[in-house]
């Protein structure tokens, strides 16, 4: 059939609603365009894909991501003063528990501790930016011993949206969430006074909380720990509604967990269809967990939310 994808991958659903295993990916050669397109289509359908024991590298992960659009990068964070392990590869987001010198982060490093803790709260990558993230790829380079935590958890925010009563969908359809990375840091680090801020005065990015997932036409609930309040409502009312929606979407039935098995395992997810977080665990300050991520910028019509691309700036934090 003209235009149809040539089937080169095996996709096996794993979870209740989201999550599937992908087999047939070979990173020893550049991923061909038709395979990248097939992978992207599967990702939009299943929300999360997992491939085991691949031979992916930082460079091949970046090359695949670039086939799906421009990549987000850490340049704004570097500009804000953060040291990175991979300054030569600014497309790589270091989501390990390691400092720039490769040592395990301890509480003596409050900057990295606050960021690591923030990762354990539900979010969609880049929601705090004016142009949000689309697809993320995470790669396991070094894992803590099994049973010590560090798995990656996902929520099916499309089915959660669809399950809302019609009256609720009607109520939230025009709500715009006001997002900041600092609210995630505040929630995750109540012991750090530097995040005790007036959140009406920090820069906020605006993204509607009820959206259409463009590739599938399904509804999606776009909320998480960056979402501080809702435009036009009182802070209290915005928080109440956000918390109520978070309670709904975090129900066990919407959850899918990736248990990391070995180096070379990778997961792909669609930030415009699922939420995610890193599970906490005793590995924390004891065992090395080296995970690296890249993210594309979303290219749907929802990418910029209610933000003005002409004046927008990517957010950077130390
Ligand atoms: Fe993330």
pLDDT value for 218: 98
Place of tokens 């095996």: 10
Residues contacting residue 287 through CB under 8 Å, at least 6 positions apart = 104, 144, 145, 148
Please tell me the distance between residue 233's alpha carbon and the centre of ligand 1 in angstroms.
Answer: 27
Please tell me the distance between residue 48's alpha carbon and the centre of ligand 1 in angstroms.
Answer: 13
Phi, psi at residue 67, to the nearest 5°? -70, -20
How far apart CA 161 and CA 217 sit, in angstroms, is: 13
Q: What's the pLDDT tens digit per position in 226-244?
A: 999 999 999 999 999 999 9
Tokens, residue 318: 């130390």
Please tell me the distance between residue 165's alpha carbon and the centre of ligand 1 in angstroms.
Answer: 29
> Are 307 and 130 in contact, with CB atoms under 8 Å apart?
yes
pLDDT value for 133: 96
- Average confidence score pLDDT of the chain: 93
How far apart CA 199 and CA 85 sit, in angstroms, is: 31
The DSSP result for 119-150, as a single string, is TTS-B-TTTTSSS-EEEEEEEEEE-PPTTS--
pLDDT value for 2: 45
Please tell me the distance between residue 90's alpha carbon and the centre of ligand 1 in angstroms.
Answer: 16
Residues in the chain: 318
In the chain, what are the domains?
10-297 (3.60.130.10)
Please tell me the distance between residue 6's alpha carbon and the centre of ligand 1 in angstroms.
Answer: 31
Please tell me the distance between residue 89's alpha carbon and the centre of ligand 1 in angstroms.
Answer: 18
Please tell me the distance between residue 8's alpha carbon and the centre of ligand 1 in angstroms.
Answer: 29
Please tell me the distance between residue 14's alpha carbon and the centre of ligand 1 in angstroms.
Answer: 21
Please tell me the distance between residue 124's alpha carbon and the centre of ligand 1 in angstroms.
Answer: 6
Please tell me the distance between residue 128's alpha carbon and the centre of ligand 1 in angstroms.
Answer: 11
Place of tokens 């019609």: 166
Please tell me the distance between residue 46's alpha carbon and the centre of ligand 1 in angstroms.
Answer: 18
Region of residue 266 (phi > 0: left; psi between -120 and 50: alpha; otherwise: beta): beta
Please tell me the distance between residue 2's alpha carbon and the centre of ligand 1 in angstroms.
Answer: 37
Tokens, residue 95: 């989501």
Please tell me the distance between residue 265's alpha carbon and the centre of ligand 1 in angstroms.
Answer: 17
Q: Residue ranges of the chain with pLDDT lower than 70?
A: 1-6, 317-318
């Amino acid at each position: 059939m003209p235009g149809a994808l040539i089937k080169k991958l095996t996709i096996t659903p794993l979870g209740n609603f989201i999550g599937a295993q992908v087999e047939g990916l070979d990173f020893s050669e550049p991923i061909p365009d038709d395979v990248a397109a097939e992978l992207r289509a599967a990702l939009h359908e299943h929300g999360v894909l997992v491939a085991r024991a691949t031979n992916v590298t930082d460079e091949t992960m970046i090359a695949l991501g670039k086939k799906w659009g421009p990549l987000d990068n850490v340049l704004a964070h570097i500009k804000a003063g953060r040291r990175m392990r991979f300054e030569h590869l600014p497309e790589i987001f270091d989501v390990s528990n390691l400092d720039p010198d490769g040592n395990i982060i301890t509480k003596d490093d409050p900057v990295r501790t606050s960021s690591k803790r923030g990762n354990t709260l539900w979010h969609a990558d880049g929601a705090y930016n004016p142009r949000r993230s689309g697809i993320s790829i995470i790669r396991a380079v070094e894992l803590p011993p099994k049973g010590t935590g560090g798995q990656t958890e996902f929520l099916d925010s499309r089915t959660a949206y669809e399950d809302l009563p019609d009256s609720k969908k009607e109520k939230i359809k025009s709500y715009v969430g006001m997002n900041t990375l600092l609210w995630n840091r505040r929630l995750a680090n109540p012991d750090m006074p530097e995040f005790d801020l007036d959140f009406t005065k920090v820069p906020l990015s605006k993204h509607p909380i009820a959206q259409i997932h463009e590739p599938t036409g399904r509804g999606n609930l776009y909320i998480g720990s960056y979402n501080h309040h809702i435009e036009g409502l009182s802070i209290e009312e915005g928080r109440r509604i956000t918390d109520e929606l978070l309670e709904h979407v975090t129900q066990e039935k919407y959850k899918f967990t990736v248990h990391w098995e070995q180096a070379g395992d990778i997961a792909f997810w669609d930030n415009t269809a699922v939420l995610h977080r890193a599970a906490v665990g005793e590995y924390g300050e004891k065992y090395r967990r080296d995970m690296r991520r890249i993210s594309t910028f979303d290219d749907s019509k929802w990418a910029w939310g209610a933000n003005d691309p002409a004046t927008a700036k990517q957010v950077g934090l130390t």
